Amino acid sequence: MSFKEKDKQYIANTYGRFDLHLVSGKGSLVCDDEGKEYIDMATGIAVNTFGVADEAWRAAVMAQLGQIQHTSNLYYSTPCIRLAELLCSRTGAKKVFFGNSGAEANECAIKVARKWAQDNFGKGDYTIITLKNSFHGRTITTLAATGQDVFHTDFNPFPAGFVYATANDLSSVEQCFTENKVCAVLMELVQGEGGVLPLDKDFVQGVEMLCRRHNALLMIDEVQTGNGRTGELYAFQGYGISPDVVSTAKGLGGGLPIGATMLFERVENTLTAGSHGSTFGGNPIAAAGAVSIIERIDEEVLQGVRIRSEYIVSELSGAEGIKSVSGLGLMLGVELERDVNEVLADCFQMGVLPIKAKNKMRLLPALNIPMELLKRAVAVIKAAAKGERI
Ligand SMILES: *Cc1c(COP(=O)(O)O)cnc(C)c1O
C-alpha cells in the first residue's frame, strides 16, 4: 500500500487533503517528498509564525527539551510563568489560563463567562452572543458558538445558550441583548474561516458599548488573528477596545500546540482552584517556544507585517482575475474570478502554497517572509488568477 492508501485506510476521514506531502523546510521555503520546493503562504494554518525551523524558536524549544518535557500543572513551571507574565505585560491582561488548542481556549472563555454571570447575577444569565459566519472550534460547545448552520446538523443536542447576531450590524446585536439574558459577546475581529472578513471598527466599538451598558463581557477570539498576524500583537489593540477575555492559539506556539485564554480585570478571579484545568495545558516545551515567539514580535516585526501586507494588497487589488482582497496584516483573503481550487492547483504547480477560506484564496505567510520570496509568490498568484503560467 502507498502511504496515501494507508492514510485513507487508517486515519479518520475528516480531512479533504491536498495531494501534497511536506517533509522539511527552512523559513518560508518548504519541501515535498520529491524534493520540490514551495514558498509557504499558509504556515500550516497561521501556525508557523516565523516559518519552519526558525533558529531562535528551535533553540528555545531544544533547550527546554533538554531540561524537562512535562511536569503536570500540580507543580510550578517557569516557562509558563514567563509566558503568562509576557502576555499580561503586552496586553493588559491580569491572568492567563493555558490549554492546547484554539477550541480549548474558547471553551475556557465560555466557562469563564458562564461562571462570572452565575457568580454575579445568579443562574439565568447564561446566553452568549456570537456572530453569524463565525468559527470558534470543533468541540460540541465551540461548534454551538460557531454561527454557521452547516456546523449544527450532525451532533445534536448542542448546549443551549448561544444566539447569533449579524456582523457589522449593531442593531442585530442590540436585538440579541434585548431578547436574551446575555452574559457575554464572543467574536473574531477578522472572521478567518468565514472568508477573511474584518469587522468595522465602529461596529466593534459599538458592541463594546452595548456590553458595558448591559453588564456583559466582551470576549475576543484571537485564535487566528493573534500573535502579530494582523500587524498588531493582538488585533484588538488596533480596534481601540478593552476586552474582558481574549483567547488565542494557532501562531502562539510557533508550531507546537498551545492555547491561552487571557483574563482581564473584570474576570481575573472568576476561575478558582478546581474550576478548570488541563493535563497538557501550558506544556513547558510549547511554552518555551511561545516565549521566544512573543518576545520576538516587537514594533519592528509588526511594521514588517504591515509593509508586507501593503505590498500584497497593492499588487493583487484590481489585478486581472481578482475581484477583491480582504483582511488585515498577513491574514488576507483573495476573491477570484476563476474557481479557487483550480487557482490553488496552478499555484502548487508553480511552487506556491496558499490555502482556502470558503471560496477565497487565503494567505497566511510567516510574519518574516523575505520580501524576495513574497514577490515571487505574489507574481505566481497573479499569473494563476488569470490562468497563466510563469
Ligand atoms: C482555528 C480557529 C479555532 C479553533 O482552533 P483549534 O486549535 O483548531 O481548536 C477557533 N477560533 C478561530 C477564530 C480559529 O481560527
Q: Which atom of ligand 1 is nearest to the CA of 45?
A: 1
Our answer on whether the CB atom of 146 is closer than 6 Å to any ligand 1 atom is no
Our answer on whether the CB atom of 136 is closer than 6 Å to any ligand 1 atom is yes
Cα(86) to ligand 1 centroid in Å equals 22
The pLDDT assigned to 243 comes to 98
Q: How many other C-beta atoms lie within 10 A of the C-beta of residue 237?
A: 18
The pLDDT assigned to 50 comes to 98
Section 121-130 average pLDDT = 93
- Residue 85 and residue 175: Cα distance in Å, rounded? 38
Please provide residue 15's backbone torsions phi and psi, each rounded to the nearest 5 degrees. Answer: -120, 135
* 3-54+299-385 maps to CATH 3.40.47.10: no
Cα(78) to ligand 1 centroid in Å equals 26
Q: Report pLDDT digits (tens) over 36-64.
A: 999 999 999 999 999 999 999 999 999 99
Q: For all residues of the chain together, what is the average pLDDT?
A: 98
The pLDDT assigned to 123 comes to 84
- Residue 41 and residue 347: Cα distance in Å, rounded? 10
Our answer on whether the CB atom of 103 is closer than 6 Å to any ligand 1 atom is yes
Cα(293) to ligand 1 centroid in Å equals 19
Our answer on whether the CB atom of 261 is closer than 6 Å to any ligand 1 atom is no
- Residue 184 and residue 31: Cα distance in Å, rounded? 44
C-alpha cell, 209: 458599548
- C-beta contacts of 158-164 below 8 A and 24+ residues apart: 161/114, 161/126, 161/127, 161/128, 162/127, 162/128, 162/129, 162/130, 163/127, 163/128, 163/129, 163/130, 164/129, 164/130, 164/131, 164/132, 164/134
Pocket test for ligand 1, best of 223, 229, 278, 328 (most atoms within 8 A of CB): 223
Q: Report pLDDT digits (tens) over 277-296.
A: 999 999 999 999 999 999 99
Burial of 323-348, coded b for 16+ CB within 10 Å and e otherwise, reads: eebbbbbbbbbbbbeeebeebbebbb
- Please identify which residue in the block is written with the cell numbers 454561527: 147
Our answer on whether the CB atom of 188 is closer than 6 Å to any ligand 1 atom is yes
Section 182-186 average pLDDT = 98
Whether the predicted pLDDT of 85 surpasses 90: yes
Using CA positions, which residue lies closest to atom 11 of ligand 1? 136
Whether the predicted pLDDT of 26 surpasses 90: yes
The pLDDT assigned to 66 comes to 98
Q: Give the torsion through C-alpha atoms of 56, 62, 68, 72, to 10 deg.
A: 60
Cα(372) to ligand 1 centroid in Å equals 30
Q: Report pLDDT digits (tens) over 292-317.
A: 999 999 999 999 999 999 999 999 99
The CATH 3.90.1150.10 portion of the chain extends over 3-54+299-385
**Residue 254, beta-bridge partner list:** 256
Topology at the third CATH level for domain 57-296:
Aspartate Aminotransferase; domain 2 (3.40.640)
Residue 385: CB partners within 8 Å, gap ≥ 6?
316, 319, 320, 321, 322, 334, 336, 337, 338, 343
Whether the predicted pLDDT of 78 surpasses 90: yes
Cα(247) to ligand 1 centroid in Å equals 10
Q: Which atom of ligand 1 is nearest to the CA of 139?
A: 9
Q: Measuring CA to CA, which residue among 94, 46, 79, 52 is closest to residue 283?
A: 79
Our answer on whether the CB atom of 151 is closer than 6 Å to any ligand 1 atom is no
Section 74-80 average pLDDT = 97
Whether the predicted pLDDT of 124 surpasses 90: no
Q: Report pLDDT digits (tens) over 203-255.
A: 999 999 999 999 999 999 999 999 999 999 999 999 999 999 999 999 999 99
Whether the predicted pLDDT of 150 surpasses 90: yes
Helix-then-strand count for the chain, H and E: 12, 17
Our answer on whether the CB atom of 235 is closer than 6 Å to any ligand 1 atom is no
- Please identify which residue in the block is written with the cell numbers 464572543: 186
Section 26-41 average pLDDT = 98
- Residue 229 and residue 249: Cα distance in Å, rounded? 12
The CATH 3.40.640.10 portion of the chain extends over 57-296
Section 148-162 average pLDDT = 96
CA 256 to the chain's CA centroid: 14
Strands of 245-248's sheet in order across: 95-99, 259-263, 245-248, 217-221, 182-187, 127-131, 162-165
